[in-house]
Structure 1
């Protein structure tokens, strides 16, 4: 599935914690690289730029379906 503007995703921060994020830009020249608006566990928003899709730190992933 390709990321699109406004989609909710998960972002794993540098400490390995999963944060809620929204796709705010999709880089058309790469596959799966996006800019995100991310919220930490305290509700503080920060930006993550040029984030690749994956399961590692500082990467984004689709939320699991339950």
Structure 2
């Protein structure tokens, strides 16, 4: 959640319950995962095409993906 929004709501509506919807939670998780992927890829150039591996479970890796 955007911190200024949260702080403003708490200051003006102290008894209000703040509800975070699924869309915004998924968006934040996706942004964080993307940031981690970019950091990993910038440190290791051989992983440039392997960014989607972060989104796969190990059970769905192909044989050549398991080796790397």
Higher relative contact order (CA 8 A, sep 6+): 1
TM (norm. structure 2) is 0.18
TM (norm. structure 1) is 0.18
Q: Which has the higher helix share?
A: 2
Greater radius of gyration (CA):
2
